[in-house]
Amino acid sequence: AELISPSTPVPCVLTIAGSDCSGGAGIEADQKTITVHGCYAATCTTVLTVQSSKGLFGSKDTPFNTVSGILKCLVADKLDFKAIKIGVVPESNVQAVLDFLKDEENHHLLKNVVLDPVLFSNLGDAFSDASGLSKLLSLFQCADLITPNMPEADEILRQLMKLPDSKRVLLNNVENMIKATKKLGSLIKTSVLVKGGRTPVDEQGNVNQENPKYIINVFYDHKTGKTTCFQSHYLNSANTHGTGCSLSSSIASNLAKGESMLVAIQKGLEFVAEGIRHAFPKINGPINHVWA
């Protein structure tokens, strides 16, 4: 039989993240998102979770040596990553990921690193405490883009600025969101997309959960120092589980396919919005519509 090989190789995207057995978020959402973007997904699972649409009931970190072993094994297999997405990394595995990112021999593989600093699930369950976050910060310098949501940006800024727990950074309107995004980007010296999906604003640009009108996502480009606001209509939906995971994997896949950062983000936001519009209510999560 004739062997037909594709003329353009499929870009490979590595996701280093936690497993969500319910399938809407975590590495399961990443894999599906990367696949529907026409890329090839390689995975490194950092933690197994026990969860459903009702919440997070338990978790077990992948042993440190297993995470290190997986990453070394993928490199040895000469998978040519065009982008890397990093999601939940429990404190016990941050060093294993850092060793991989810092290894001089891996430098050619570290293109388009998108890090989603997941601190809480959208039901409010914590994935990381203050000590986990301070470790996680060590990975930021290796990323090309960090994608916290507003509450996560607030938490990260408080740690970086050494503010006491009582003192919150005010992210109560668009102006403050832009200021906080700039501050965060300049402190960590990396581009940042602060996501406003959990903090919708009203006509006046004030955060307003009762009368939500728009979602604001603020991008700070570390190379130019410029900020860009992406505004979209608020979608009234309970099916937002996995939106952060799907967005960061979509951005990583778009970058892997050669898009610029701004286009990768714009397309990622459209992909997630389309997913929310078509999500299965029970399974919830934006990625599921693709299989409908």
Residues of this chain that interact with ligand PLP (CB under 6 A) are: 17-20, 25-26, 49, 51, 87-88, 118, 121-122, 241-245
Q: For residues 128 and 181, which CB has a smaller minimum distance to ligand PLP in the complex?
A: 128
Q: For residues 88 and 177, which CB has a smaller minimum distance to ligand PLP in the complex?
A: 88
- For residue 223, give the DSSP letter: T
Nearest to 143 by CA among 89, 63, 215: 89
Q: For residues 179 and 289, which CB has a smaller minimum distance to ligand PLP in the complex?
A: 289
Check if the beta carbon of residue 223 is closer than 8 Å to that of residue 144.
Answer: no
- For residue 279, give the DSSP letter: -
* Minimum distance, C-beta of residue 174 to ligand PLP, in the bound complex (Å): 22
* Minimum distance, C-beta of residue 22 to ligand PLP, in the bound complex (Å): 8
Length of the chain: 292
- What single letter denotes the amino acid at residue 172? N
Q: For residues 6 and 58, which CB has a smaller minimum distance to ligand PLP in the complex?
A: 58
* Minimum distance, C-beta of residue 24 to ligand PLP, in the bound complex (Å): 8
* Minimum distance, C-beta of residue 86 to ligand PLP, in the bound complex (Å): 11
Q: For residues 243 and 266, which CB has a smaller minimum distance to ligand PLP in the complex?
A: 243
Give the CA distances from residue 26 to residues 215, 225, 241, 248, in Å, rounded to whole numbers and listed in that order.
Answer: 23, 31, 10, 11
Q: For residues 151 and 205, which CB has a smaller minimum distance to ligand PLP in the complex?
A: 151
* Minimum distance, C-beta of residue 181 to ligand PLP, in the bound complex (Å): 18
Check if the beta carbon of residue 18 is closer than 8 Å to that of residue 46.
Answer: yes
Q: For residues 17 and 184, which CB has a smaller minimum distance to ligand PLP in the complex?
A: 17
Residues 6+ apart with CB under 8 A from 133: 117, 119, 155, 156, 159
CB-CB neighbours of 264 under 10 Å? 24
Nearest to 254 by CA among 53, 82, 80: 82
Residues 6+ apart with CB under 8 A from 275: 243, 246, 285, 286, 287, 288, 289, 290
* Minimum distance, C-beta of residue 1 to ligand PLP, in the bound complex (Å): 42
* Minimum distance, C-beta of residue 78 to ligand PLP, in the bound complex (Å): 28
